[in-house]
Each structure stands twice: as C-alpha cells, then as structure tokens.
C-alpha cells in the first residue's frame, strides 16, 4: 500500500476567484495561479520532501491542473480523466447564488447535486478508482486536480460517503496528505497553504 497520497489543488483561475463552478471548462491559470504553483513547487523540492524522489505523479488533463503540476516542477506527469473535476452540467460557470435562483434557495450541491451532469455517486466512483490505484502503489503518489474531486477523494480514502466532502474545505494551490494511522486511513495534513504566506 502507498505510504501516502499527496493532493494538490490547482492554482487560482478567474472562476475560482469569482466562485463560479468550473467543471470541464478548461480555464487557464491566472498569473497569481502560476505564482502559487511555483511557490508550492519550491516547497515540495525542499526538506522534508526533497522533490519526492520516486513519487508517481498523475494530473487531471485540464490545463489548470496540468500547468500547476508542470510549474511545481513535476514534468512528465500522466494525465488521467479520473482526476477531472465534477461535471456540473447545466450549472457549469454559475455561482452558488445563480444556481439557487434556478434550483431554489435551499440548494446544496453535496445534497442536491446538479442537473445535466454527473451525480455525486459517479464522482465518488471516479474517486474510488484513484484511491484503489494509490493503495496499490508501493511508493508515495502525488496528484494534481480540482477542489471537489479532491474533497470526494479524501472522503472515500477515509471510508466515508462522498457527501462527507462537504466538510472539507480546500483552497487553490493547497497541499494535503492522506496516509495511515494505526493501520487505518488517516489525514496527515489538510488544506495547507503555508507556502503562500
């Protein structure tokens, strides 16, 4: 089993700043997002990580994640569709406030989902695929992806329903680490943005 799975959310984009749901739209990083990615890379190439020698790296194929990965100094990462963001369907590009105007004031993505896109269960199935891959590796793995899929991945790593992801905040260019404690899946580090201070 993998000692750890390291999770990196991509750097800042225009839509992540405005709170618009960014699923499959291939939004580029802002200059600030590129700066964030470079700072994260500098951190991962210093002690105690020292560039994570021997780590297996995968990235969402969407450019905001793939560019974050490259700017952080992990060239040659393999793109993987399982790491793509939730397909928000009809809610793509909308803010939560705009969606509530359509779906009702009580709408909550983790309970009510989206129309015309993926169900939360389908996102959970993709996350399970990543968890199975990570646990089958004999070394650390590092993934670059998106806020909601990474939150669901963490929920599934811990053995919880995908809706548990609602309780896990995740900022752009953050570093999180999932590992083990007393033989059980555990969170070692979550939403760490110390490299951006």
Q: Give the distance between the most distant pair of CA atoms in the chain.
A: 49
To the question of whether residue 87 is assigned a binding role by annotation, the answer is: yes
Number of domains, the chain:
1
Residues 6+ apart with CB under 8 A from 182: none
Percent of the chain with pLDDT over 90: 95
pLDDT recorded at residue 137? 79
pLDDT recorded at residue 2? 62
Paired tokens of 142: 């590092």
Q: Say how many C-beta atoms besides its own lie within 10 A of residue 197's C-beta.
A: 5
Residue 145's domain comprises 5-196
- Checking if the pLDDT of 1 tops 60, the result is no
Closest CA to 187 of 162, 163, 153: 153
Contact 157, 185 (CB under 8 A): yes
* Residue 106 is a catalytic residue: no
H helices within 19-119, ranges in order?
31-44, 63-71, 96-103, 109-112
Catalytic residue chosen out of the listed positions 10, 21, 146, 148: 10
* Residue 10 is a catalytic residue: yes
Instruction: Give the pLDDT confidence of 18-30 residue by residue, as tens digits.
Output: 999 999 999 999 9
- Checking if the pLDDT of 118 tops 60, the result is yes
> pTM for this structure?
0.96
Interhelix angle for 120-136 vs 147-157, to 10°? 60
**Upper half-sphere CA count for residue 126 (Cβ side, 13 Å):** 20
Paired tokens of 37: 């990615």
To the question of whether residue 41 is assigned a binding role by annotation, the answer is: no
To the question of whether residue 132 is assigned a binding role by annotation, the answer is: no
- Checking if the pLDDT of 76 tops 80, the result is yes
Paired tokens of 97: 């406030």
Contact 27, 33 (CB under 8 A): no
- Checking if the pLDDT of 125 tops 60, the result is yes
Average pLDDT in the 121-132 region?
98
Instruction: Give the pLDDT confidence of 127-142 residue by residue, as tens digits.
Output: 999 999 999 978 899 9
The rounded distance, in Å, linking the Cα atoms of 180 and 183 is 6
Alpha-carbon distances of 154 from 7, 67, 161, rounded to whole Å: 9, 22, 10
161: domain CATH number?
3.40.50.1240
To the question of whether residue 101 is assigned a binding role by annotation, the answer is: no
Catalytic residue chosen out of the listed positions 67, 85, 92, 118: 85
To the question of whether residue 85 is assigned a binding role by annotation, the answer is: yes
The rounded distance, in Å, linking the Cα atoms of 126 and 149 is 8
């Amino acid at each position: 089993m993998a000692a750890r799975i390291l999770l990196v959310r991509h750097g800042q984009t225009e839509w992540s700043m405005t709170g618009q749901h960014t699923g499959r739209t291939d939004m580029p990083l802002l200059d600030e997002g590129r700066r964030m990615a470079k700072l994260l890379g500098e951190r991962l190439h210093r002690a105690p990580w020292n560039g994570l020698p021997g780590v297996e790296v995968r990235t969402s194929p969407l450019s905001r994640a793939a560019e974050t990965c490259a700017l952080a100094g992990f060239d040659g990462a393999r793109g993987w569709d399982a790491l793509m963001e939730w397909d928000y369907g009809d809610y793509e590009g909308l803010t939560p406030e705009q969606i509530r105007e359509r779906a009702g004031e009580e709408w909550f993505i983790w309970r009510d989902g989206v129309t015309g896109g993926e169900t939360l269960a389908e996102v959970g199935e993709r996350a399970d695929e990543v968890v199975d891959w990570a646990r089958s590796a004999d070394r650390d793995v590092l993934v670059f992806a998106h806020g909601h899929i990474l939150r669901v991945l963490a929920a599934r790593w811990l053995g919880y329903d995908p809706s548990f992801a609602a309780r896990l905040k995740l900022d752009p260019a953050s570093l999180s680490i999932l590992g083990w404690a007393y033989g059980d899946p555990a969170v070692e580090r979550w939403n760490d943005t110390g490299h951006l201070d």
